[in-house]
Amino acid sequence: MTTTRLVFDAAAVVALLFAAVMVLHRHPAKSVLSLVVSFFALATCYVLLTAPFIAAIQVIVYAGAILVLFLFVIMLLNVQQEEHRGDPHPIQRVLSGAALLLFGAMLFGLLRSHGGAGLPSDSSPIPDPDDLAAIARLLFSDYLLPFEALSVLLLAALVGAFVLARREKAS
Amino acid sequence: MISGIPLSDVLLVSGGLFVIGLAGALLRRNAITIFLSIELMMNGANLALLGYGAALHSLEGQIVVFFVIAIAAAEASVGLAIFVALFRHTETIDVNEIHLLKW
Amino acid sequence: MNVPLWLVPALPLAGFLICGVLGKKLGKSFVSAVGVGSVGLATVAAYSRLLPFVFGSRAPVVETVGGWIAAGSFSVDIAFRLDALSALMTSFVTFVGFWIHVYSIGYMRHDESDAGYARYFAYLNLFMFSMLTLVLAQNFLLLFVGWEGVGLCSYLLIGYYYEREYAAAAGKKAFVVNRIGDFGFLLGMFGLFGLFQSLDFDRVFSTAAADPARYAPFLTVVALCLFVGAVGKSAQVPLYVWLPDAMAGPTPVSALIHAATMVTAGVYIVTRCNVLFRLAPDAMAVVAVIGAITAIFAAVIALAQNDIKKVLAYSTVSQLGYMFLACGVGAYVAGMFHVMTHAFFKACLFLGSGSVIHAMGGEQDMRKMGGLKSKLPLTYWTFLIATLALAGIPPLAGFFSKDTILAGVFEHQRYVLWGIGIVTAGLTAFYMFRLVSLTFEGKFRGTHEQEHHLHESPPSMTTPLLILAALSVIGGFVGVPKVIREVFGSAREQNAIERFLSPIFVPLEESVEHALGAGTEWLLIAISVVAAVTGLLLGWNWYAKQDGRIPARIAATFPTLYELVEDKFDVDEAYDFLFVRPFNWLARMLWKVVDVLIIDGLLNAGAFLVELTGDLLRFLQTGNVRNYALTFFLGVVGLLLIVIGFTY
């Protein structure tokens, strides 16, 4: 058991725990905050998986922008605690639960038996985790088209969000 | 084995995150919580991608995750804008109550 | 430089197109010029080939214009044939047709609008095109094109006054009855192709003649099928019913189509296919019997008709019966001879009746006529000459042709049919002189205004009458029988027309006919003349001299019989009961039950099912997002199960 593995396991447990908290909490604001913690833990995992750049992106963009946006919206809409009303469609829960169990079982079974199998031997060189330029090089050569498309997508999202969320003009 | 972390562990965690997010998306009534659960599912996928990237000694995993995060940002903003617009009209965030597209 | 044969039908076709498209705008004079001119040019073109043919080489000529159908083993060309038979037909089709076109100018000018006038000449030209294609064709299929074309034009022209319901119905009737005949013709063509793998005349006839034993068994059926077509087109029993009603069309149409040309197409086809018929004696027997029955049956009906055109119509049916009788016993030359002479005098009679009707302001009932002799002298004299010809009085044309037929029938030892022929000849003379007496002799029985309106027709109408009457006089001299010619010093075995048409009849292994002795021939001539003269005198006496007292008494004594004859033996009513009503019932059944209930019902049921499915499926759209998400997820789980199942 190396240190990396230990730290990874710890961070993973934290991430899973707070994810569960997020799902279970009644108040959406608190859910967001738990998810923030979970994302931080995940960022640690990413670092341990020799992806520091992604970890940084995770913290800055995912935790720091997207979830903050969620908080803004919660506050804007003044979302209250979810009320304890009876579920009018209990069948939904039953079915969902059953399907989830089945799915989970399948997933873990699969991962147990095949996770890690069929991978090539470690003959290729391990990429340097500190070499940011390598990622940049890939982005601007092999993945140039998706990159540019992404920028267009972001523009579209920007315009779309703007149009969707504005108030109707009083006629 | 990437720096001591077995891939199967990574995948287990990733699967776990995914299942938790799925459960949240199916079983919660609060619209915002459902959305957050979806984000969680995406993170699970991200972790799996990075795990394989590390195992295969390739940078492509990171590239894909990069794109996923960017797209998640776009999707979140648009989705929240939709929520805002919808909830101005209906004043509820309980998904069960919203059935405008019912037959 | 030879005028190509295809030009002869093509000229009237051009006339049709021009009059049809431009005629309405360009006025009656233009239409007259083009409509009559096209036929005139066609006549000239035809004769430019006919005269060298008749007086020079009489070898058959085939001119192929081009390929038409080539589908595997079935190939048909557009090819025209000039031989003795087609030459004979073309000669009078063009000539008589031309004069009838001229007559039409005077007849149609006043009553019709520019559009109607143009339409008339367009259709008439189209008819000439079809008829000429029919007689000049080198193969059965091209002939059939003409065959159908004349049927179509008959329909169009009978129904020319389409605003009159009777005329429209008569046109339809003609077309439908013709169609029945055409069906038989088609079956015959199929049979011919099946037997000979060709529809070309030369191929079919030479193949059949070369191996009679092999083909003869089938030829009876094929020949009868073709004869069914002839029965329809040439108005024989039982498909004659359309011809009397066809009189609803303008009188020149009746003259051209229903006397001189179209109705002879049946006789033409039988003569053209003489090889086939002669190899199928049973078919020939049927032809002869039907011809004889038709001849006498129609003559009897004509006795009691009061419409001048109806009498002539039934007379045409009867005379066509004579032609088929001749062909049926093997006297093909006699039949074709009668076709030609009949064209002359019958056309003259119809045009004359048109002149009378024109003068009477449209009246066609003979009981309202009388004494027109003095008012319409030209019409009267030409009419009389043509009547004498039709009655078979020597030395006019009809005598020679009819006598040749009767002699031929007797020669082939068909004595019963000969007897029928003689009686019919007597009846023919009788009813024709009844017609002449009622129309032209005695006192005028019409109204005062009609009397004032009476006038002789213009030259455009009387000139054709004169020409046709002249032909009725001299037209018979090409077919003078041997015994008479010997009197005038000719020693030839065959007369002109026999020599002319003999190449048409390929020698087959037939029984040698017994030629009649000179004495028998003179006796037969005498009998037929006596019959004709008797009928003539009786008719004239009863109707002109005695003002119809005796016939009136006979009609009063046998009222039911008289009415039966006057009502043409109720044949139309019988057909209506036997055929028309069941078909109407069937049509209504197919409509109301099969189409509306079953077919529409099936379609509606299909649409209903789709709607039902949609109605049921829409319950999936709950509007609840969680349900949708769950459905997604369940689908994914299902797919995974399948994939895992397959992998293990």
What pLDDT, in 10s, does the model give residues C504-543? Answer: 887 766 555 557 777 888 888 888 889 889 888 888 888 8
Q: Which of C54, C68, C56, C55 is nearest to C6 (CA)?
A: C68
Q: Which of C618, C623, C629 sits opposite B26 (nearest CB)?
A: C629
A71 and A143 both lie in a single domain: no
Q: Give this complex's ipTM.
A: 0.88
Q: Which parts of C4-113 fold into alpha helices (H)? A: 7-55, 84-108
Q: Could you give the domains of chain B?
A: 7-90 (1.10.287.3510)
Burial class for A36, CB neighbours closer than 10 Å (0-12, 13-18, 19+): buried
d(CA C106, CA C435): 24
Report pLDDT for A89. 67
d(CA C533, CA B33): 122
Q: Which of B64, B66, B70, B75 is nearest to B36 (CA)?
A: B75
Q: What's the DSSP call for residue C558? A: S
β-bridge mates for residue C74, sequence order: C71
Cross-chain Cβ contact C634/A103 below 8 Å = no
A4 and A66 both lie in a single domain: yes
pLDDT digits (tens, 9 = 90+) for A120-144: 666 666 667 677 888 888 889 989 9
Q: Could you tell me if residue A161 is inside a domain?
A: yes
Q: Could you tell me if residue A38 is inside a domain?
A: yes
- Chain centre distance of CA A135: 21
Cross-chain Cβ contact C637/A89 below 8 Å = no
Last residue of a domain, one of A62, A81, A100: A81
Phi-psi region of C27 (alpha: psi -120 to 50; beta: other; left: phi over 0): left
Q: Could you tell me if residue A95 is inside a domain?
A: no
pLDDT digits (tens, 9 = 90+) for C106-119: 888 877 778 888 89
Ordered DSSP codes for chain B: -BTTB-HHHHHHHHHHHHHHHHHHHHH--BHHHHHHHHHHHHHHHHHHHHHHHHHTT-SHHHHHHHHHHHHHHHHHHHHHHHHHHHHHHH---BGGG--TT--
Q: Å from C643 to nearest chain A CA?
A: 11
Q: Could you tell me if residue A57 is inside a domain?
A: yes
d(CA C92, CA C81): 16
Q: Which of C505, C359, C551, C338 is nearest to C440 (CA)?
A: C359
Residue pointed to by tokens 């009649």? C516
pLDDT digits (tens, 9 = 90+) for C473-515: 888 888 777 777 777 777 777 777 877 888 888 776 655 555 7
Report pLDDT for C353. 92
* CB-side neighbour CA atoms (13 Å) of C517: 3
Q: Could you tell me if residue A114 is inside a domain?
A: no
pLDDT digits (tens, 9 = 90+) for A59-92: 999 999 999 999 999 888 877 766 666 666 677 7
Cross-chain Cβ contact B24/A22 below 8 Å = yes
Averaged pLDDT, groups of 10, chain C, 648 residues long? 85 92 84 91 92 85 86 85 91 92 87 83 94 93 93 92 90 91 93 88 86 84 92 90 90 85 89 89 92 92 90 93 92 90 92 89 83 86 93 88 89 88 92 90 78 80 90 84 75 77 73 68 87 88 77 78 81 85 89 84 92 88 82 88 82
Does pTM top 0.90 for this prediction?
Answer: no
Q: Could you tell me if residue A155 is inside a domain?
A: yes
Contacts with B33 from chain A: Cβ below 8 Å: 22-23, 25, 28, 31, 82
Q: Could you tell me if residue A120 is inside a domain?
A: no
Cross-chain Cβ contact C633/B26 below 8 Å = yes
B93 interfacial to chain C (CB closer than 8 Å) = no
Report pLDDT for A122. 61
Report pLDDT for A82. 63
- Chain centre distance of CA A53: 16
The CATH number covering residue A28 comes to 1.20.120.1200
Report pLDDT for A35. 94
d(CA C184, CA C221): 10
Q: Could you tell me if residue A157 is inside a domain?
A: yes
Last residue of a domain, one of A81, A102, A126: A81
Structural domain that includes position A155: 134-171
Contacts with A92 from chain C: Cβ below 8 Å: 626-627, 630
B74 interfacial to chain C (CB closer than 8 Å) = no
Report pLDDT for A1. 62
Mean pLDDT of B2-24: 85
Q: Å from B11 to nearest chain A CA?
A: 7
Instruction: Say whether pLDDT at A164 is over 50.
Output: yes
C614 interfacial to chain B (CB closer than 8 Å) = no
Report pLDDT for C203. 87
Report pLDDT for A171. 45
Report pLDDT for A115. 61
d(CA C634, CA A94): 12
Structure tokens at A137: 């090089």
Q: Which of C469, C319, C499, C316 is nearest to C384 (CA)?
A: C469
Last residue of a domain, one of A81, A112, A144: A81
Alpha-carbon torsion, ordered C474, C331, C420, C487, to 10 deg: 50
Q: Which parts of A49-89 fold into alpha helices (H)? A: 52-57, 67-77
Does a cis peptide bond (omega within 30 degrees of 0) precede residue C395?
yes
Q: Å from B20 to nearest chain C CA?
A: 14
Specify whether the CB–CB gap between A77 and B91 falls below 8 A: no
To the nearest 10 degrees (0 to 180), the angle between helices C377-391 and C397-411 is 10
d(CA A156, CA C377): 103
The total number of structural domains in chain A stands at 2
Report pLDDT for C314. 93
Instruction: Say whether pLDDT at B2 is over 60.
Output: no
Does a cis peptide bond (omega within 30 degrees of 0) precede residue C503?
no
For residue A13, count other CB atoms closer than 10 A to its CB. 13
pLDDT digits (tens, 9 = 90+) for B78-93: 999 988 888 888 777 7
Q: Which of B6, B21, B71 sits opposite A153 (nearest CB)?
A: B71
pLDDT digits (tens, 9 = 90+) for A85-120: 666 667 777 888 888 888 888 787 777 776 655 566
Among A8-12, B36-40, C387-391, C536-540, the minimum mean pLDDT is found in C536-540
- Chain centre distance of CA C373: 32
Instruction: Say whether pLDDT at A33 is over 80.
Output: yes
φ, ψ at C325 (rounded to 5°): -60, -45
Q: Which of A61, A159, A75 is nearest to B84 (CA)?
A: A75
Cross-chain Cβ contact A103/C633 below 8 Å = yes
**Chain-wide mean pLDDT for chain C?**
87
d(CA C341, CA B96): 101
